Chains A and B, each alone.
Chain A
């Protein structure tokens, strides 16, 4: 089964994403910040990670960079409240970018697309 790690600091959002993705048939693990994500990944493997950009402790972008160093092949999707990071995406370690919304279909589509490749 495809494993997804959700890194999200807000509990409600974390829970929402987890449940929605589980409904899609993925195995979903959650952590609440970048540091925990790195700890988790040091002893576990996942196929894809969703990463909130605005988080306390470690910024999502920073976390993405660290994770990319650890796991070369893992897919990373950034989640953000802003939409203007888009153009800089190439400079990030992430594979895609999704603006947060109550409608998670955009996220689901992005995940599907990345995992097909």
Chain B
């Protein structure tokens, strides 16, 4: 190696960076490689340099750039050493062939040049640059393809919406960008795949157009549903050779799937040489991936087209519907027009009081072009007595000759009026009473009972449409009518009043023979009822007039009801007070007067304050109705009015102004529940006593045993006591014990639940005598006089004698005790009524104060210094519970009286 060359190499090495960038910036591979060749020439001072690239797949070198034409395009590498293969192609002795390696083992190409061999590191850099150029080329190809896919997208977007165009265009496109020689799209038929689109294939090259789904490449795709690549299809068993008669070198194929379902296969054959350099000619994975991308795009577009077509179809359906509805709208418009016309006809009819005029208006409305537009309209009136229909008025041209003249005139008059009803009113005045048709019809009668047509019309109120067919088939049945009308289609319309049909209108289109539609029939049904009622109401106008006289009378009835309502209010058992927003009393019924003792005259029109401070609370609550806007209730409100205590259930209901819904005041309702309240109170007391009784019974029972023992031993002790003092003390113990035992006995007696009743009919006077005997001595002792006053001489009653006697004894005992301190008097009196016996035990003792009097029948309440406090409660129990009677006490300065009242015959025997 010459020094100079080495020096050159080194200098160039230093520049290599710059040059490399320049090379790569050439863009195309050819440009890059010719720059690289220039570089080698510069360094080696060689005149001719040839640059080869290594193609590994084919084990050959391919000429990329050369200064001579003598070098072969390809050099097959067959021997072990490359140098040996290259040697055969050396031009002369000056020329040398140098393989280019990267890292001393990866062959990238070779260079032929003259002169000295450049430095090794220079060569290895050349190799690197060569590799970089090839890589750059590959990248460029990728970028190109990707950019073409973008083009595909925009093409698809602007494509017409049909499947044929889509498949063909896409196939053409993909064949072009993937540099395939030929392309096909097979679509799935019923049980085969059909060759549907081709590119680059002539008719003559096609051997078959249908293949089974297990055939060749298609078969493979059906099985695997994934992309297919065959790099050398000649020997590939997967690629069939019986479909086309061209040579298949390489193949790529992809499934066309829609919603995961296979619908076809796209196959490309044989890759062309291209602008882009590749070390091999077959398709590769990259091509396949592009094809798969294209397949996806086809299917997406297909879906889009399907959606488009669907929308298009729907759109067309909608359009069709729209057209249909247009017809319907026209039809509806006609119906609406007729309804409007009907309304106008009725309006015109109502404005006239003359019934004859009213019929005319109706007939004009039915024949006018602005109305129902019939050619002729005949009105028949019902004669109830003779069961016939009488022809009254017939409107329309009398002959064909008159038609155009009549109608034109009518149309002209119509057009002068903006308002149809006004036209009808005025036209009715013009139309002659004796038109030709009317004159012809007058006097004509039809019997309607049993008539084929009129029976239905008159008796059943039906609109009857006589069609041409009906007239032909059943015409015999109504020959008279057909002959009279001289038409084969008409319609009979009843005029229906509130109760019955009172006339019939017959309509036809004799002159223009316009068919009568079902819609018209429907409209005539409405006409039949509404016009019928209108006519009837006009007819009864006079009657109404008379009736107005009666209204005066009705006013009186209203007055009567007003009185009646007032009466109800007055007689209600509830106090009702109406108060307005200014707190003024507007209403104060009788019960209010009774309950509160204020007269109506005094309080009405005064504010509620007049009722006094006792009512302040009540009306304060009442005013809350203005805020809560609902009824407010007070239960068992305790009102103390002039020392009288009462319990009231009170309700305040707001009084709404009907239209504005503003509260104008309120109604206060007072229900006097004092009695109920007292009864409840009594019941509660009874319950309390029952519990108390039971408890005392238990306590008493527990006390009895030890008490008996104490008393018993005291008695024993007395017997053996030596000292007088001891004996005296024991006597006290014994007597106190006995007192306690007595208390216990009475307690138990009171609380026992079922009395041992033994009822018998006894003389009450006898029982009283028996009882009194027991106290005579005691009374005498205290100089108390006992007087008997048996007004009821022989009063007998059903009594439990022992218990009743106990009561009398108790009362006498009490009386004696009451007059204890002075020489007193006791009087026992009996009286009888039809049902009851009354026993009064009176004494002239000190009066019992009212508050104590209330309580004396309660257990354990006693006014005496001794006593159990159970005596009177037991009496009450015997008299009221057992004998269903009543016991009470009165007391004042003149004395105290206990009054016992029992029924003679016991109403209901309870207990054992």
Task: Enumerate chain A interface residues (CB-CB to B < 8 A).
Answer: 10, 12-13, 15-16, 19-20, 54, 81-84, 86-87, 100-104
Check if B867 is an interface residue, CB within 8 A of chain A.
no
Check if B714 is an interface residue, CB within 8 A of chain A.
yes
Closest Cβ neighbor of A105 among chain B residues: B715
Q: How many A-B contacts if CB must be within 8 Å? A: 62
B912 touches A102 (CB 8 A): no
Return A45 CB to nearest CB of chain B, in Å.
28
Check if B708 is an interface residue, CB within 8 A of chain A.
yes
- Cβ–Cβ < 8 Å partners of B912 in chain A: 87
- Cβ–Cβ < 8 Å partners of A86 in chain B: 756
Additional A-B contact list (5), CB under 8 Å, known A13-B705, A103-B711: A12-B705, A81-B700, A82-B748, A87-B912, A102-B707
Closest Cβ neighbor of A14 among chain B residues: B709
B715 touches A102 (CB 8 A): yes
* A103-B715 contact given A83-B749, A87-B912, CB 8 Å threshold: yes
Check if B248 is an interface residue, CB within 8 A of chain A.
no
- Cβ–Cβ < 8 Å partners of B738 in chain A: 102
Closest Cβ neighbor of B758 among chain A residues: A87
Return B707 CB to nearest CB of chain A, in Å.
7
Near A by CB (< 8 A), chain B positions 698-714 give 700-701, 704-714
A104 to B756 CA separation, bound complex (whole angstroms): 24
B756 touches A81 (CB 8 A): no
- Cβ–Cβ < 8 Å partners of A82 in chain B: 701, 748, 752
- Describe A's contact surface by its main secondary structure: loop
Return A84 CB to nearest CB of chain B, in Å.
5
- For B712, give its contact among A20, A54, A84 (CB under 8 Å): A20
Check if B129 is an interface residue, CB within 8 A of chain A.
no
* A100-B752 contact given A16-B712, A16-B713, CB 8 Å threshold: no
- Cβ–Cβ < 8 Å partners of A20 in chain B: 712, 716
Check if B754 is an interface residue, CB within 8 A of chain A.
yes
- Cβ–Cβ < 8 Å partners of B284 in chain A: none
Closest Cβ neighbor of B745 among chain A residues: A83
A40 to B598 CA separation, bound complex (whole angstroms): 84
Closest Cβ neighbor of B713 among chain A residues: A16
* A104-B712 contact given A83-B749, A84-B756, CB 8 Å threshold: yes
Return B697 CB to nearest CB of chain A, in Å.
9
B705 touches A102 (CB 8 A): no
Chain A to chain B contacts (Cβ below 8 Å), 11 pairs: A12-B705, A13-B705, A16-B713, A81-B701, A81-B744, A82-B701, A82-B752, A86-B756, A102-B711, A102-B712, A104-B712
Return B742 CB to nearest CB of chain A, in Å.
10
- For B741-769 the 0/1 string (1 means CB < 8 A from A) is 10011001100101010000000000000
A82 to B752 CA separation, bound complex (whole angstroms): 9
Check if B424 is an interface residue, CB within 8 A of chain A.
no
* A16-B701 contact given A102-B734, A102-B738, CB 8 Å threshold: no
A16 touches B756 (CB 8 A): no
Check if B233 is an interface residue, CB within 8 A of chain A.
no
A84 touches B708 (CB 8 A): no
A104 to B741 CA separation, bound complex (whole angstroms): 13
- Cβ–Cβ < 8 Å partners of B756 in chain A: 84, 86-87
Closest Cβ neighbor of A10 among chain B residues: B705
* A100-B708 contact given A54-B701, A87-B912, CB 8 Å threshold: yes
Return B751 CB to nearest CB of chain A, in Å.
10
Return B757 CB to nearest CB of chain A, in Å.
10
Check if B301 is an interface residue, CB within 8 A of chain A.
no
- For B774-797 the 0/1 string (1 means CB < 8 A from A) is 000000000000000000000000
A100 to B709 CA separation, bound complex (whole angstroms): 10
- For B708, give its contact among A13, A19, A54 (CB under 8 Å): A13
Near A by CB (< 8 A), chain B positions 569-597 give none
Return B480 CB to nearest CB of chain A, in Å.
106
Return B41 CB to nearest CB of chain A, in Å.
137
Return B852 CB to nearest CB of chain A, in Å.
31
Near A by CB (< 8 A), chain B positions 489-530 give none
- Cβ–Cβ < 8 Å partners of B421 in chain A: none
Return B748 CB to nearest CB of chain A, in Å.
6
- Cβ–Cβ < 8 Å partners of B737 in chain A: 102
Return B182 CB to nearest CB of chain A, in Å.
118
Chain B, interface residues (CB within 8 Å), range? 20 to 34
A19 to B719 CA separation, bound complex (whole angstroms): 13
Q: Which of A13, A81, A100 has the most CB of B within 10 A?
A: A81
Closest Cβ neighbor of A13 among chain B residues: B709
B708 touches A16 (CB 8 A): yes
Return A26 CB to nearest CB of chain B, in Å.
16
B705 touches A81 (CB 8 A): yes
Closest Cβ neighbor of B702 among chain A residues: A81
A86 to B757 CA separation, bound complex (whole angstroms): 12
Near A by CB (< 8 A), chain B positions 296-329 give none
A54 to B704 CA separation, bound complex (whole angstroms): 12
A1 to B470 CA separation, bound complex (whole angstroms): 133
- Cβ–Cβ < 8 Å partners of A13 in chain B: 705, 708-709, 712
B704 touches A100 (CB 8 A): yes
A13 to B711 CA separation, bound complex (whole angstroms): 10
Closest Cβ neighbor of B734 among chain A residues: A102
B754 touches A102 (CB 8 A): no
Return B704 CB to nearest CB of chain A, in Å.
4
A12 to B912 CA separation, bound complex (whole angstroms): 35
A16 touches B704 (CB 8 A): no
Closest Cβ neighbor of B700 among chain A residues: A81
Near A by CB (< 8 A), chain B positions 111-148 give none
Return A33 CB to nearest CB of chain B, in Å.
14
B748 touches A81 (CB 8 A): yes
Return A52 CB to nearest CB of chain B, in Å.
9
- Cβ–Cβ < 8 Å partners of B711 in chain A: 101-103
- Cβ–Cβ < 8 Å partners of A81 in chain B: 700-701, 704-705, 744, 748
Return B398 CB to nearest CB of chain A, in Å.
117
Closest Cβ neighbor of B754 among chain A residues: A84
| Top-9 shortest CB links A-B | A102-B711, A12-B709, A16-B712, A81-B704, A81-B701, A84-B752, A102-B708, A102-B712, A10-B705
Closest Cβ neighbor of B710 among chain A residues: A102
- Cβ–Cβ < 8 Å partners of B749 in chain A: 83
A15 to B709 CA separation, bound complex (whole angstroms): 9
B748 touches A101 (CB 8 A): no
A12 to B714 CA separation, bound complex (whole angstroms): 12
A82 to B738 CA separation, bound complex (whole angstroms): 16
* A16-B748 contact given A84-B754, A102-B714, CB 8 Å threshold: no
B748 touches A83 (CB 8 A): yes
Near A by CB (< 8 A), chain B positions 354-370 give none
A38 to B721 CA separation, bound complex (whole angstroms): 38
Closest Cβ neighbor of A52 among chain B residues: B705
Return B238 CB to nearest CB of chain A, in Å.
107
* A102-B748 contact given A16-B708, A81-B705, CB 8 Å threshold: no
Q: Which of B708, B711, B713, B714 has the most CB of A within 10 A?
A: B708
A84 to B701 CA separation, bound complex (whole angstroms): 13
A19 to B716 CA separation, bound complex (whole angstroms): 9
A102 to B715 CA separation, bound complex (whole angstroms): 8
- Cβ–Cβ < 8 Å partners of A100 in chain B: 704-705, 708
Q: Which of A13, A54, A102 has the most CB of B within 10 A?
A: A102
A100 to B741 CA separation, bound complex (whole angstroms): 10
Closest Cβ neighbor of A84 among chain B residues: B752
Closest Cβ neighbor of A101 among chain B residues: B708
- Cβ–Cβ < 8 Å partners of B705 in chain A: 10, 12-13, 81, 100
Near A by CB (< 8 A), chain B positions 898-912 give 912
A7 to B716 CA separation, bound complex (whole angstroms): 21
A113 to B524 CA separation, bound complex (whole angstroms): 116
A82 to B746 CA separation, bound complex (whole angstroms): 11
Q: Which of B705, B706, B710, B716 has the most CB of A within 10 A?
A: B705
A116 to B912 CA separation, bound complex (whole angstroms): 32
B752 touches A16 (CB 8 A): no
- Cβ–Cβ < 8 Å partners of A83 in chain B: 745, 748-749, 752
Return A82 CB to nearest CB of chain B, in Å.
6
A83 to B746 CA separation, bound complex (whole angstroms): 11
A15 to B713 CA separation, bound complex (whole angstroms): 9
